[in-house]
Amino acid sequence: MTNCTEKKRKLIERLGIHFEKEMDLSPLAARILGLLILSPSEDLSFEDITNITCASKSSISTNINLLLQLKIIDYFTKPGDRRRYFRASRNHLKLTLNDNLSKVDKQLEVLELIDEFNQGAEKESNHKFQVRLLYREFLKNQQKNLQNTLKKISEIQDTQ
C-alpha cells in the first residue's frame, strides 16, 4: 500500500521544494503534489497521504481541499469504497498554460498602457523604446508558443 522507497521519499522532498517555489504552494501542499506526481499508477487514499507525509489529519485535509480547489489534483472513488483516491489532475498542464497565457496577455496590456502614456508627453530615450519593442516581441512569441502547445494538447486529448 504505502509503497514508498527511500529514493521516492527523497524525490518527493525535492519536488516539494520545487513546487513550493514555482507554484507558490504551502510546503505540505507541495509535498502532497510531489507524492501524487510520483505515484501515477497507484491509488493513494487520504490515509496513505497521511502516512507518507507524516502530517496531521487536519493539515492534510486542508491542503488536499486547497489542491482540489485549485484543480491541481483530482480524485476518484471505487465502487463499495467510501474513501477517495487522489491523483495529480490530468488537466493541470492545460490549466497552467492557460494561466500563463493570461499572464502574458496581462503583461502585454500593461505594456500597452505604458506605451500609451509615454506617447502622450514624455521624450523617451531611444534605448528604452527599443527595449520595450523587444520585450513586446518576446511576449508575442511566448503567446504563440503557449497557444500552439495548448492546441497540441487538445489534439492529444481528442484522440484519446
**Binding of a second copy by 122 (CB under 8 A):** yes
**Site residue total, a second copy (CB under 8 A):** 44
Minimum separation from the CB atom of position 160 to a second copy (A): 6
Q: Which does 84 bind (CB under 5 to 8 A by kind): a second copy, DNA, none?
A: DNA
Interface residue with a second copy among 58, 69, 82, 127 (CB under 8 A) is: 127
Contact footprint for DNA (CB under 7 A): 26-29, 45-47, 54-59, 61-65, 80, 82-84
DSSP secondary structure of the chain: -----HHHHHHHHHHHHHHHHHH---HHHHHHHHHHHT-TTS-EEHHHHHHHHT--HHHHHHHHHHHHHTTSEEEEEETTEEEEEEEE-TTHHHHHHHHHHHHHHHHHHHHHHHHHHHHHS----HHHHHHHHHHHHHHHHHHHHHHHHHHHHHHHHHH-
Q: Is position 1 an interface residue for a second copy (rule: CB under 8 A)?
A: no
- 17's grid cell: 521544494
- Terminal alpha carbon distance of the chain: 29
Residue 49, all three cell numbers: 497521504
> Cβ closer to a second copy: 1 or 134?
134
103 binds a second copy (CB under 8 A): yes
Among 93, 22, 33, smallest CA distance to 64 is for 33
Per CB under 8 A, does 152 bind a second copy? yes
* Minimum CB distance to a second copy, residue 84 (Å): 20
Q: Which residues bind a second copy (CB under 8 A)?
A: 7-8, 11, 14-15, 18, 22, 37-38, 40-41, 90, 93, 97, 103, 106-107, 110, 113-114, 117-118, 122-125, 127-128, 130-131, 134-135, 137-138, 141-142, 145-146, 149, 152-153, 156-157, 160
